[in-house]
A and B are shown apart, each in its own frame.
Chain A
Amino acid sequence: MTTSIKKLPDIEQVLSGNGACGGCPATMALRIVGKALGPNAIMLLTPACSVASMGMTPKLGYNWPCINICFATAGSSASGITHAIEIMKEKGRLQGDLPTVFSWAGDGGTYDIGFQALSAAAERNDNFIHFCYNNEAYSNTGVQRSGATPRGSYTTTTPTGKRHPKKNMALLMLEHNIPYVATATVAYPGDLYDKVVKAKNTPGMKYIEILSPCYLGWQFDMPETVQMSRMAVKSGAWLLWEAENGKITFNNPSSQIISGKKEPAPVDEYLMKQGRFSRLLKGPDAESRIAEIQGDINREIAFMRERAKITY
């Protein structure tokens, strides 16, 4: 059973008075993550929205020791910290329970510039959680395309809509044979909470990706963050799943889409709500480009359905 939002712990690790935009999904997600991890953790941040919103020196809006690191280094920096605290504990220089080490990066710091170091950390199975708060663009620098930007989406570097589909980063991480991989999004906080708790209690490398609809980048109304997140899941554009030791399980409502019990909502409705697709929807070839996007979604659903059947 998924933990109800009413049953989440009271503890707040995201303090009041930070610099995030109203309706920021990354900050909402971090709040849930804080409830699952508690205070005994060390946070790493690559240059991204969550750094811009954490408060300026010497203030800090997150109630953990937080280190800002070079953009490409989430994987290697987290490895450095986790090995350091483990050996210091072995040598008797640290007392008590070892803190959870977690990196908190956007899709740029995960899919693109951070990919190499993250892949290597996963291959070494170093003991930390990497979170990707995926807002499908470089939102912090003013919305440029990333490897997570879906086909058709406007960004300032894809002014007529992106021509290539996004990559399936969570699946790529799974193929590194790490013990835990999960996807989540802010409309399903209990699901996210449970996944973070599982990750916290699993030794080795863990990867959790959180779809984070950004009102600025996606161009919808600020109060609709959670609704956009839910529409992404219901249309099948975002699949909720987790893999424990390589075995993939789909979570509600994605499990019903995968099993065929429920048809995914047509993608048009989801796209119409977002200004980033508006040029494409108004263009003369709108129909074929929407069909392309629907095709990408159908392909991912079909592929993940079959991939989940492979266990070893």
Chain B
Amino acid sequence: MKSPQIIMETGAHAAALAVKSARVDVVPGYPITPQTSIMEAIAAMVENGEMNARFIPVEGEHSAMAAAVAASAAGARVFTATSANGLLYMHEVLHMASGGRLPVVMCNVNRGIFAPWTLWADHQDSFAQRDTGWIQYHCSSNQEVFNTILQAFRVAEQINVPVMVNFDGFAISHCLMPLAIPPQEDIDRFLPLHEPEWRLDPTHPSSFSNVTNAAEYAPFRRMLSDDILASIALTKKAAQEYQEITGMWDGDTIDTYRLEDAEVVAFAINSMAAELKLSVDILREQGIKAGLLRPRLYLPFPAEDIISVLPQNAQVMVLDRNYNFGHQGGILASELKSALHGRRNDITVKNRVMGIGGIDLTRRFMAAEIRAMMDE
């Protein structure tokens, strides 16, 4: 058995290398900070022959997603990437990808939304696409970005639902970390060639996304909803099989740290959750039984898995890097409360919004915030 190749790479390049390893056929792309480096890396690999694919330099994100959706309907394995306003500009076509049951995989490099301008990370962009029918993963390291893209294709193609792989701008996209690249034959074993059940094929003329009656439309929507829920089990299976083949593990629907005996549980996603492991250590040194629960899968929300691992009578401190406009606090807290309602009345949920527009979230700052929340 060959051992993985270890290199130093940014999160953006880790994503591009995963796309190459997945033997993607078509990549429509449009630049936007901080996603741009993914597209640049893919364009370069296609140009120099390292990657056997078509790169389509489209004129905007709406077109990027449209080209992705159409290429997928033609039977190709397709990837694209975006950030913030680019993701918002795609919104209409995101619905076509999910409603059309097309297994496109996209990276969204999280960035705060205009207006006013910010270049830096928060999670308003991906959460604003919650109701588009996309599965959403959120990653906390460069390695996890690489691993998750491969797992995303696997899950997407099993149930014909598109998947968004999210990670923070700059903290992940532009920071170098060690990256292990498994041998290509292992990746091919985990992710075989895409063989869609159906594609646009002149030998079988049929209509796609045509006009429906309500009696036909409603079952389409119900099946989509059911299959999105089915991705919880498939996410676990993909993570396990990926671990069996490559030896690497980032969690499945959730990732936990020092959780078993925790009385205070930090609850957050993306790069801040990696930093929170250090905050947990600080709190433990101070005699507080702290732990971490990070949803890796945000949509569908892994309610059962969260309910089953939360220790008895825990205080859950939800650190939201977004606003739930019209409510107090953030969106993650709202999701968690809804999951726990009537199921775990022993749990207390507390919530703070922080890190908006890239404000630095250090381990000491977040440890202090959690201590303060304990007294609330």
Contacts and interface: CB of A to CB of B under 8 A. Distances in A.
Interface of A: 39-42, 44, 51-52, 54-60, 62-70, 72-73, 75-81, 83-88, 90-91, 93-94, 99, 116-117, 119-120, 124, 126
Contacts of B308: none
A70 B52 CA distance: 28
A75 B67 CA distance: 9
Contacts of A84: 25-26, 54, 70-72, 74-76, 78
Contacts of B54: 83-84, 86-87
Interface stretch (B176-184, B203-211, B292-300, B351-359): B203-211
B207 A66 contact: yes
B206 A69 contact: no
A200 B128 CA distance: 43
A54 B210 contact: yes
B92 A70 contact: yes
B62 A68 contact: no
Given A81-B74, A86-B54, A91-B25, A117 B63 contact: yes
Contacts, number: 171
A132 B74 CA distance: 22
B25 A76 contact: no
Nearest to A66: B207
Interface string B34-68: 00000000000000000011101111101110111
A60 B57 contact: no
B213 A67 contact: no
B202 interface: yes
Given A84-B25, A91-B52, A60 B206 contact: yes
A93 B53 CA distance: 13
B70 A124 contact: no
Contact of B200 (A57, A60, A67, A72): A67
Nearest to B25: A87
Contacts of A63: 205
Interface string B17-38: 0000000011010000000000
B93 interface: yes
Contacts of A56: 210-213, 216
A47 B216 CA distance: 19
Nearest to B95: A70
B98 to A, nearest CB: 13
Given A76-B63, A81-B74, 15 more contacts: A42-B202, A56-B212, A57-B210, A58-B210, A63-B205, A73-B63, A73-B70, A76-B64, A78-B70, A80-B56, A80-B74, A84-B25, A84-B76, A85-B75, A87-B26
Given A42-B200, A51-B210, A70-B93, A76 B28 contact: yes
Which interface residue of B76, B201, B216 has the most chain A CB atoms within 10 A?
Answer: B76
A70 B96 contact: yes
7 contacts: A60-B205, A62-B205, A68-B210, A77-B70, A79-B56, A79-B67, A117-B59
B366 interface: no
Contacts of A60: 205-207, 210
Contacts of A51: 210-211
Nearest to A119: B59
Contacts of A126: 56
B199 to A, nearest CB: 8
B73 interface: yes
A88 B25 contact: yes
Nearest to A78: B70
Contacts of B69: 69, 77, 80
Contacts of B208: 65-68
A94 B75 CA distance: 10
A120 B213 contact: no
A84 B196 CA distance: 13
Given A69-B70, A84-B26, A87-B26, A54 B207 contact: yes
B124 to A, nearest CB: 24
A41 B52 CA distance: 25
B205 A64 contact: yes
B205 A52 contact: no
A80 B71 contact: yes
B368 to A, nearest CB: 47
